[in-house]
Amino acid sequence: MAAEWSASGETRYAAALSDFPGYLRKVEDGRRDIQSADRVPGTEYWLEDGGKIVACVRLRFRLTAELEQEGGHIGYDVRPTMRRRGYGTHLLRLALPVLDGYGIRRVRITCDEDNIGSAKIIERNGGVLSGTGVSRESGKTVRQYWIELR
C-alpha cells in the first residue's frame, strides 16, 4: 500500500517505506496520552483483504480547535487501486465502535468538498453535515460532519 501511494505521488506513507519498524514505533507512541503540543493521542488500524492491505484509518482520541474544523476524530484512506469497492464504508463502520470504547459519543469527521466518495462514506455511516470551513493547509472548502454514536 505504501509503495502504491508513493508511486501516485503521495508521501503520506514514505516513512513506512524507508523505516517500517520506526513507522510502527511512531504509531505505538501515538497512543500515549501525553503528546507534543501539535498532536493528540490516537492510533491507526489497517484493513486487509486476502493478505493485502487495502486501507488505513487513523483515530484521534481528542479534538483540538483545529481538528474540529478539519481532520476530526477519524482520518482514513483507501489505496488508489482499491477504491469504489466499499472498503471505505466498511472501514469507517468498523472504526466507530472503537471510538465508542474510548468514551467518544459524538464523532467529528471531515472531508474536502470535492471528495464526493468520502462524503458518501461518511453519510452512509450516519454522518450529518453540520457546516463547512476552509482548509488552512489546502485552501479548499471542507465539509464538517458529526456522527452520534448513542
pLDDT, tens only, 89-142: 999 999 999 999 999 999 999 999 999 999 999 999 999 999 999 999 899 999
The CATH T-level fold of domain 2-148 is Aminopeptidase (3.40.630)
From residue 82, alpha-carbon distances to 5, 33, 71, 122 in Å are 12, 33, 22, 18
pLDDT per residue as tens digits for the range 13-59: 888 889 999 988 888 877 777 666 677 889 999 999 999 999 999 99
For 84, the grid coordinates are: 469504489
Per-residue pLDDT, 97: 96
Can you tell me the distance from the alpha carbon of 28 to that of 44, in angstroms, rounded to the nearest whole number? 9
pTM of the model: 0.87
Residues 140 and 132: beta-carbon distance below 8 Å? no
pLDDT tens-digit readout, 29-38 = 777 776 666 7
Could you tell me which residues come within 8 angstroms of residue 141 by beta carbon, excluding any fewer than 6 positions away? 112, 113, 114, 132, 133, 134, 135
Q: Does 28 or 145 have the greater pLDDT score? A: 145
Q: Where are the domains of the chain?
A: 2-148
Per-residue confidence (pLDDT) for residue 36, from 0 to 100? 62
The dihedral built from the CA positions of residue 85, 54, 113 and 42, taken in this order, carries a sign that is positive
Kind of pairing between the strands at 52-60 and 106-112: unpaired
* Most confident segment among 1-10, 61-70, 75-84, 119-128: 119-128
